[in-house]
Amino acid sequence: MDKPSEQSEQVGKPDPATSASSQSQPSRRQSPSAADLNPSALAKAEGSADRAAPTKTRNKALLLTKIGVGCFVVGATTSAAITLSPSISLSRNKAFSAIPKVAGVGAIAQNISTQGLGAFPGEISASYLCLAPTAAAAPSATPAAIAPGLVSPTLSTILAGAVNPSFVGQFRAAPWPGIHEAARMARVPVLMYHDILPEKEVFFDVTVEEFAGHLERIKEEGLTPISFDQLYDHLRSGAPLPPKPVLLTFDDGYIGHYTHVYPLLKEYQYPAVFSLFTGKLDGDVAGRSTVTWEQAKEMAADPLITIAAHSVMHPRDLRELNDADLQREVVESKQRLEAELGIPIRYFTYPEGNYDERVAAAVAEAGYDAALTMSNYEEWFAGESDDLLSIGRFGQSQLAAIIPEAWEGLGMNVVGRNTFDFYSPVRVMEELETEEGRLALITGGRPVTVHADSRYQLPEILARTNAVAAVDGGFFNLRYLDSNVMIGPVLSQATQTFVPGNPSENPLLNTRPLALISADEVKFVPFDADKHNTLRGVQAEMADVTDAFVGAAWLVRDGEPQPPESFGTLFDFEAYRHRAFWGINNAGQPVIGVTKDRVDSVALGELLHQVGFRDAIMLDSGASTSLTYEGESFVDYEPRPVPHMVALLTTEEAQGPCPLTFDPLPGAQEVQAEAF
């Protein structure tokens, strides 16, 4: 095929991730023949070098999430970037490209001599966007009303839309006792308490006063105690959880659980789990104190309380028992509790956390749905557990440490599809293991785009902004290394410039997703070359649009993963490649990401749907696929430089209509200083 992208391979760097291997690979699915593929210039980074055979790693037995602990904390990023106030943007543009200004109606025609742009034959027009109507508008301000951005998030914004239950219904349950992909990225801590009493006797005791303080702290910090059933549904089928969920558990049936804990739980209306071993209630095992069967029955009848079986005699280590004794501890405790309390007992808690495959198998055989463990050496969030029979817990002393970490996960808090949340904390999942390969995802914050003046490594562009994270953006022309020419129209608040797409290329983009961003909304609409190649055209789709560009393909659309047919003529959509994407999760939050293994587009769409995207579009694939957070690259190779990116601003930076700041050129401030 005679493609500019192939020519560009000669000037572009080879894909460092795949340069060792270049044989072609079989496609995973039935796909159009090569002749049906679009031989256009649209494929941005479709280097043949990336068609190497997949090198996926499969480790289903131990799908542990490696999370960039500590790096998801949101902080205001500092930047020397200038602010896009109307007056500065004028001088900035002057310094940027010495633009001769010609007054237009709502737009200014400009000849831009910026490096690289000269390669593009089309007309460039610009308009000053991002002006709140009340601002002292420059004479050239577009008469089209640009709505000001939200100054602060409001609960009503976040909760306005009705929840569409179909989003939840689409999640497939993981094969038991597997944990659902979506739950892998949440961070639900299960807190473990033992005795609660007026005065401490051993180190793991908690006084009533301390415990009341814990509940108050949980309330103040916005954590939401959930029930074991909620956690189970979440882990099993990706069911949504309330914000900052936590599960409270109390082991060993001390009297304080009834006299002190239960009344406080009722006062706060917090659900909790009490793990009882029946030998203690029966008086067969001596203990410091015990709840009575009567008290246990009263608590079991309360919907707030879940009773879990904790064996009969509380042997220190179930692994040391013979099969018959193990069977008795696991089965009899369940039967006895069910008979005495009149409720089904679904969950087991291993005494002292000790279990192995044989013990877990006995628990499964006995009919339990899930089991809690603990370890003195390692603590992990529920979604990081190997499976439902090994749910990890944190000791109660870890409360302060887990408070900032508790997170309901990506897309778990399902809101209506026209509801957006651009003010949630930015969260980083540096490496998420899935069955299709590894993903890196960054969610939260507010989405913006940057159309830079040339091609750079992503961290270089990010460093010139007040954004915290970015993924490489739309299609660009590969012919020139120093070009910023995009395929299709592009509008970025970084430049406040609308650059039309090449009219001869635009029709080839028809029906692909046109991404439209405003201060409080994102839309993906099918691109129409006849309608969308002017600023007015994109404003007709979204009046207060601040950013727009054309993406490669829909991966998830209106809550549905896209079938192979939907990819049409997209080059190599069925090939195994590194792929970049962005979209909106079921909570209405933006998410940017890349695959860290090679996946085909259809599988990627299914995967993103599973992990909670309600809409996702593919941005890129192959050698320029890149993702960065605070200057750190999240891909394992040096990607090709790019001129465009989708970035995330933290809540602190996200105020106003166009909050993105962008140094137009490296060292531009000095240039500007000289110009004056």
List residues near Zn ion by CB under 5 A: 251-252, 351
Which CB atom, from 252 or from 606, has the smaller least distance to Zn ion? 252
Q: Closest separation between CB of residue 311 and Zn ion, Å?
A: 8
Which CB atom, from 315 or from 445, has the smaller least distance to Zn ion? 315
Q: CA dihedral defined by 201, 203, 207, 211, rounded to 10 degrees?
A: -160
Q: Closest separation between CB of residue 214 and Zn ion, Å?
A: 20
Peptide bond into 177 cis (omega under 30): yes
Q: Closest separation between CB of residue 374 and Zn ion, Å?
A: 9
Which CB atom, from 83 or from 295, has the smaller least distance to Zn ion? 295
Q: Which residue has the tokens 């029966």?
A: 282
**CA–CA dist 144, 589 (Å, integer):** 27
Which CB atom, from 252 or from 453, has the smaller least distance to Zn ion? 252
Q: Which residue has the tokens 């709505």?
A: 147
Residue 230: CB partners within 8 Å, gap ≥ 6? 239, 241, 245, 271
Give kind and range of the element (H or E) at residue 537.
Answer: helix 535-541
Strands (DSSP E) along 171-303, which ranges?
A: 190-193, 196-197, 206-207, 224-225, 245-251, 272-276
**CA–CA dist 635, 104 (Å, integer):** 44
**CA–CA dist 352, 192 (Å, integer):** 11
Which CB atom, from 190 or from 542, has the smaller least distance to Zn ion? 190
C-alpha dist (Å) from residue 656 to 83, 302, 659: 12, 48, 6
**CA–CA dist 394, 379 (Å, integer):** 6
Which CB atom, from 17 or from 191, has the smaller least distance to Zn ion? 191
**547-550/513-517 β-pairing:** antiparallel
Q: How many CB atoms sit inside 10 A of residue 398's CB? A: 15
Which CB atom, from 299 or from 313, has the smaller least distance to Zn ion? 313
557 burial (CB, 10 Å; 0-12 / 13-18 / 19+) is buried
Q: Closest separation between CB of residue 354 and Zn ion, Å?
A: 10
Q: Closest separation between CB of residue 202 and Zn ion, Å?
A: 13
Which CB atom, from 177 or from 353, has the smaller least distance to Zn ion? 353
Residue 303 near residue 278, CB atoms below 8 Å: no
Which CB atom, from 351 or from 622, has the smaller least distance to Zn ion? 351
Write the single-letter amino acid at 411.
G
Residue 344 near residue 232, CB atoms below 8 Å: no
